[in-house]
Amino acid sequence: MKEHGPWKIKSSVVKYENPWIEVREDQVIRPDGKDGLFGVVTMKSGASILALDDEGYVYLTEEFRYALGRISVEVVSGALDDGENLLQAAQRELKEEAGIEAEEWIDLGIVNPFTSIIDSPANIYLARKLRVTDDLRHEGTEVITLHKIKFEEVLNMVMENKITHAASCVLILKAARFLEQEGV
């Protein structure tokens, strides 16, 4: 039996797995001492990037999200590929999805958006000193529209629920605080 905080795991079985997620069912002893089940979804670690140019514009993606069944406006985000560190993943995703390279990368921390049953950490970055290229490499599952929007407007979009992607919201708000402290 494995200790897991106040829980004890008696056994674990992977019920479903694909290249992006794993669904596991644990037979547990709950903190109250009773037997129970706990389901956990594990996703690949990833990175989310807010690209901010010298004129105060940021680049957001607009993409149909299958699970939601609707369009979502988000910062550039993606999963870690094998052999990459988080910064390398962020740099690759920004170039693939937006055609942008950045000279300056500011690590604003980590976000765990679904902590009750989903393990899905994402590092969040503010990218500056941008160079826009035409080198886009969207995956076959992606139909992405890129938008260039004033940062102040993007903050309003978060507050008005026009941006609801958790990592995007946290990143935009943390970037606002960082820039405020920097005096920008």
Q: How high is the pLDDT of residue 135? A: 66
Q: How high is the pLDDT of residue 133? A: 86
Are 124 and 60 within one domain? yes
What tokens does 99 get? 């055609």
Are 75 and 158 within one domain? yes
42: exposed, middle or buried (C-beta count within 10 Å: 0-12, 13-18, 19+)?
middle
CB 119 within 8 A of CB 42: yes
What domain range is 32 assigned to? Answer: 2-43
Are 83 and 138 within one domain? yes
CATH of the domain at 67: 3.90.79.10
Q: How high is the pLDDT of residue 134? A: 75
Are 31 and 83 within one domain? no
Q: How high is the pLDDT of residue 149? A: 98
Residue-wise pLDDT tens digits, 106-117: 999 999 988 899
Q: How high is the pLDDT of residue 113? A: 84
DSSP strand pairing (2-4 vs 7-17)? antiparallel
Are 32 and 103 within one domain? no
Q: How high is the pLDDT of residue 143? A: 72
Regions of the chain short of the pLDDT cut 70: 135-142
Q: How high is the pLDDT of residue 49? A: 99
CB 52 within 8 A of CB 141: no
pTM over 0.75: yes
How far is it, in rounded angstroms, from Cα 109 to Cα 90? 13
